[in-house]
Structures are given as structure tokens and as C-alpha cells.
């Protein structure tokens, strides 16, 4: 780029010198003819401008042979100038489109998921996130991935940034400081650890989830600041072992790991408890029975708000099949087995989407901010909840 700028710094002054000399030669030639209408430097300048810009008013023109030769030179220059202008405009538009396609123009996604590193595993995760109406920003170090990703997903839901996976200084293009969580999907565990430490240094408020090849590194990643760590091999081993001696349980577990889209699909979903939630302030046993009778769903646990010790990692305190007298409080998450139909019913009744809610919604829910556009979330919740079995 510096060489290009230096070349233009030489070409532009030289061009002006040649231009001025041509004007002087044109004026010198025309002044020798009595019928010439180019009689001053201003006339010569006007004639050159209308010629170079291809306007050609015809009010000033050379009549001497040498003057006409100068005019011919201006005409050739005008064609070249027009070509340069069109070329520069085209180059600027192409550069803008290229920068936009590669993500250098940035995104306005807020409370989204950032995935660093693209491969088939990341694609499966993105499929699930997009199906759950989450915004996803993907950072890839392969230009070939850009077109293929945008062919798979709508740009309203997925944003792609082309960048080396270790150049954290350009990650602001994915609005990473406003992300909900960052998934590290580097090729090796060592690269993931280095990337997390570098990102923690630049963006200390980020939350990370990591998929490990070596489960023994889990504690190391937690110490380094990872909120969640998973081992693909460990999960696969548990499922395979389950298929060997309890295949029906394994089938059911696999089904629960997928997204629920119909009445025959089941999923484990979690929902934020807000002040408008009809079960807020009640005991776990009562909530368990209420959800079973009203929705036909099974409450299997509760995630309590992060304690002081857990707040830095962003983790919740998970209580599986909590004690019946456990208080369900605003800010907790109810973990429920749902199908595609009841998922929508509960989402509307609780006035929240499934999954970890964006941070700003925790506060907004305390003031009755609407999610589904209803005037009164509590009354709508009651309208959407089927009557208890004993009331029918």
C-alpha cells in the first residue's frame, strides 16, 4: 500500500506540470491567430476542462493545427481519465463488498453466540442454535467457508468474520463484548487454552464454553476461566456404553439431546423464572405438580442463580430433582422435558424463550417487559395454561 501511495505522490504532481505546459502551449499557439477564441489562460483552462470531462460545450475550441493537436491530446486524456474514474469507483465498490462479505464491516448482533473455528462439529451446533432463534457470529480462518456458511443460513441470524483465529484484535467486528457466550472450537486443546487466555486478557468479561479432546484438562480450563467444559469423547463413550447394555435408555437420551420441533420430538429445555412467571415464589414440589398437570411436562431440576463463588465463571448451581421445599425464585431456571408443542406453550406462558436469557432481560423481566407482545404476561400465561386435571 505504501508503494502505491508513493507512486501516486509522484504521478499527481508530474501530471499537473504536464497539464500546465499543455495549456501554455495551446495558448501560445492560439494567440498567434487573429480569429482564435482562446485568448487567455482562463479560456484555455475552460476548454481543457470541458474536453477532459467530455462535456464539450463548443464555445471555446482551437483553430490552429498545433492547437488542434493539443486538443486531440486533451481528448485522449479525457478518455483515460474517464476510464481511471470508472475503474476506481468499481474498485472501491468491489473492495467494499469484499470487506462486507469477509465481515470487516462488523455486526450489530447483541447477546449472541460467538463460535471461533468452523468445521462440521460447529455446523451441527449452529444448526441447533439457529433453530432456537439465536444469533450466531462465526469466526473462520478459511475464505471458502464464507460462501458455504451464507448458503446454509440467513444473514439475519448468522454473521461470518474471516480472520486468523489468533488475531483477537479484530474480533470486535463480531461485537464480541456484547456476546452471551464464546465457543472455542480450535483444532487442539492447547490452541483453545491459549486463545481463551488471550481473549480473557483483552475481553475479561467474556464467558467461554469449550469442547475438549482430553477430558483430563477440564480442571485446567476451569481454573483458566472457562464457564463450561465438555469432552466429546467422554459423552460419546457414555452413549456407546449405554447402547450396549440399555439401548432404549440410550435412544431416549439421544432424543433429548436434539431440538424439539414436533409433538413426537422431545428436548430438555430451561426457562428463566421472571416476576411474571406463575410459579415464581412457590416451592419445587408444587411447581413440579403444576407443570405436570397443566402442560403434561416433567420438571427435572432447577438452576439457581450464580453464587458469589460462581459469578466469575457465569455458572449456575444445578439442583437435579430438587427437594420439594426448595423455593423457586426470580432469576432461577426451570429445567423441563418438553416436546415441540409444549415448548411453545411454556414459552408463551412464561413469557420467555428457552435457554439462557440475555443479561439485560433478567432486569427487564422485573419490570414486566413483554416478550411476545402481550399486554399482561401473567393473564396471558393463565390463558395459555390448560386447567388442572381436578378442575376439568
Identify whether residues 97 and 127 lie together within a single domain. Answer: no
Measure the CA–CA gap between 177 and 137, rounded to whole angstroms. Answer: 12
Identify whether residues 148 and 263 lie together within a single domain. Answer: no
Q: Is the pLDDT of residue 359 over 60?
A: no
Evaluate whether residue 225 is within a structural domain.
yes
Q: Is the pLDDT of residue 6 over 70?
A: no
Give the pLDDT of residue 382. Answer: 38
Give the pLDDT of residue 305. Answer: 74
Give the pLDDT of residue 16. Answer: 78
Identify whether residues 202 and 315 lie together within a single domain. Answer: no
Among 55-59, 94-98, 115-119, 339-343, the range scoring the smallest mean pLDDT is: 55-59
Listed in sequence order, the residues at least 6 apart from 384 whose beta carbon sits closer than 8 Å to its beta carbon are: 345, 348, 349
Q: Is the pLDDT of residue 352 over 80?
A: yes
CATH number of the domain where residue 322 is located: 3.30.70.1450
Most confidently modeled range among 67-71, 181-185, 265-269, 362-366: 181-185
Identify whether residues 12 and 96 lie together within a single domain. Answer: yes
Identify whether residues 52 and 127 lie together within a single domain. Answer: no
Instruction: Give mean pLDDT, residues 71-99.
Output: 81
- Contact predicate 125/347, CB 8 Å: no
Among 141-150, 214-223, 236-245, the range scoring the smallest mean pLDDT is: 236-245
Instruction: Give mean pLDDT, residues 51-63.
Output: 75
Higher pLDDT, 177 or 10: 177
Evaluate whether residue 186 is within a structural domain.
yes
Count of domains observed in the chain: 3
Identify whether residues 202 and 88 lie together within a single domain. Answer: no
* CA-closest candidate to residue 169, choices 205, 122, 201: 201
Higher pLDDT, 306 or 314: 306
Which residue segment(s) compose the domain that 202 sits in?
A: 113-234
Give the pLDDT of residue 350. Answer: 93
CATH number of the domain where residue 32 is located: 1.10.287.70
Give the pLDDT of residue 241. Answer: 83
Most confidently modeled range among 35-44, 206-215, 231-240, 307-316: 206-215
Identify whether residues 139 and 210 lie together within a single domain. Answer: yes
For the stretch 151-162, pLDDT in tens is 999 999 999 999
- Percentage, residues of the chain above pLDDT 70: 84
Pick the last residue of a domain from 56, 74, 101.
101
Identify whether residues 289 and 312 lie together within a single domain. Answer: yes
Evaluate whether residue 247 is within a structural domain.
no
Evaluate whether residue 120 is within a structural domain.
yes
Q: Is the pLDDT of residue 383 over 90?
A: no
Torsion of CA 237, 238, 243, 248, to 10 degrees: -160
Identify whether residues 213 and 278 lie together within a single domain. Answer: no
Evaluate whether residue 288 is within a structural domain.
yes
Identify whether residues 190 and 270 lie together within a single domain. Answer: no
Give the pLDDT of residue 388. Answer: 37
For the stretch 220-243, pLDDT in tens is 999 998 998 988 778 778 778 888
Q: Is the pLDDT of residue 94 over 90?
A: no
Give the pLDDT of residue 109. Answer: 94
Query: CA triplet 118, 107, 115: central angle to 5 degrees?
Result: 25
Give the pLDDT of residue 333. Answer: 94
Evaluate whether residue 239 is within a structural domain.
no
Instruction: Give mean pLDDT, residues 240-261.
Output: 77
Give the pLDDT of residue 4. Answer: 61
Instruction: Give mean pLDDT, residues 66-82.
Output: 81
Among 9-18, 95-104, 304-313, the range scoring the smallest mean pLDDT is: 304-313
Identify whether residues 276 and 381 lie together within a single domain. Answer: yes
Pick the last residue of a domain from 101, 133, 152.
101
Evaluate whether residue 241 is within a structural domain.
no
Evaluate whether residue 245 is within a structural domain.
no
* CA-closest candidate to residue 280, choices 180, 368, 390, 386: 368
Q: Is the pLDDT of residue 174 over 80?
A: yes
Instruction: Give mean pLDDT, residues 319-331.
Output: 92
Identify whether residues 214 and 329 lie together within a single domain. Answer: no
Among 102-116, 249-263, 324-338, the range scoring the smallest mean pLDDT is: 249-263
Pick the last residue of a domain from 234, 269, 302.
234
Mean pLDDT of the chain: 82
Amino acid at each position: 500500500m505504501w508503494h502505491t501511495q508513493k507512486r501516486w505522490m509522484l504521478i499527481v504532481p508530474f501530471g499537473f506540470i504536464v497539464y500546465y505546459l499543455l495549456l501554455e502551449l495551446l495558448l501560445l499557439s492560439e494567440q498567434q491567430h487573429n480569429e482564435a477564441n482562446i485568448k487567455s489562460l482562463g479560456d484555455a483552462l475552460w476548454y481543457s476542462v470541458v474536453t477532459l470531462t467530455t462535456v464539450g460545450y463548443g464555445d471555446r475550441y482551437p483553430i490552429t493545427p498545433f492547437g488542434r493537436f493539443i486538443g486531440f491530446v486533451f481528448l485522449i486524456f479525457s478518455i483515460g481519465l474517464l476510464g481511471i474514474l470508472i475503474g476506481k469507483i468499481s474498485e472501491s465498490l468491489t473492495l467494499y463488498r469484499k470487506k462486507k462479505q469477509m465481515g470487516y464491516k462488523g455486526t450489530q448482533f447483541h447477546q449472541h453466540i460467538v463460535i471461533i473455528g468452523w468445521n462440521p462439529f460447529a455446523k451441527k451446533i449452529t444448526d441447533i442454535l439457529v433453530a432456537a432463534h439465536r444469533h450466531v457470529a462465526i469466526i473462520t480462518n478459511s475464505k471458502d467457508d464464507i460462501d458455504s456458511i451464507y448458503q446454509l443460513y440467513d444473514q439475519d441470524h448468522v454473521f461470518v468474520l474471516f480472520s486468523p483465529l489468533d488475531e483477537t484484535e479484530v474480533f470486535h467486528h463480531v461485537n464480541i463484548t456484547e456476546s452471551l457466550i464464546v465457543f472455542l472450537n480450535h483444532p487442539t486443546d492447547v490452541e483453545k487454552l491459549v486463545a481463551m487466555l488471550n481473549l480473557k486478557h483483552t475481553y475479561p468479561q467474556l464467558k467461554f464454553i469449550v469442547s475438549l479432546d482430553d477430558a483430563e484438562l477440564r480442571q485446567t480450563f476451569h481454573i483458566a476461566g472457562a464457564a463450561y467444559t465438555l469432552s466429546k469423547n467422554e459423552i460419546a463413550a457414555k452413549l456407546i456404553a449405554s447402547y450396549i447394555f440399555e439401548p432404549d435408555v440410550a435412544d431416549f437420551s439421544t432424543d433429548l439431546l436434539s431440538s424439539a420441533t414436533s409433538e413426537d420430538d422431545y428436548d430438555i429445555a430451561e426457562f428463566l423464572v421472571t416476576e411474571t412467571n406463575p410459579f415464581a415464589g412457590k416451592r419445587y414440589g408444587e411447581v413440579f405438580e403444576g407443570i405436570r398437570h397443566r402442560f403434561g411436562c416433567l420438571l427435572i431440576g432447577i438452576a439457581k442463580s450464580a453464587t458469589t463463588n460462581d459469578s466469575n465463571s457465569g455458572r449456575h448451581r444445578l439442583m437435579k430433582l430438587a427437594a420439594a421445599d426448595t423455593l423457586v425464585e426470580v432469576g432461577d431456571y426451570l429445567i423441563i422435558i418438553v416436546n415441540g408443542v409444549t415448548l411453545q406453550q411454556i414459552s408463551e406462558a412464561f413469557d420467555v424463550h428457552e435457554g439462557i436469557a440475555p443479561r439485560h432481560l433478567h432486569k427487564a423481566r422485573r419490570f414486566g417487559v413483554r416478550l411476545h407482545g402481550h399486554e399482561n404476561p401473567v393473564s396471558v400465561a393463565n390463558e395459555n395454561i390448560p386447567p388442572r386435571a381436578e378442575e376439568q
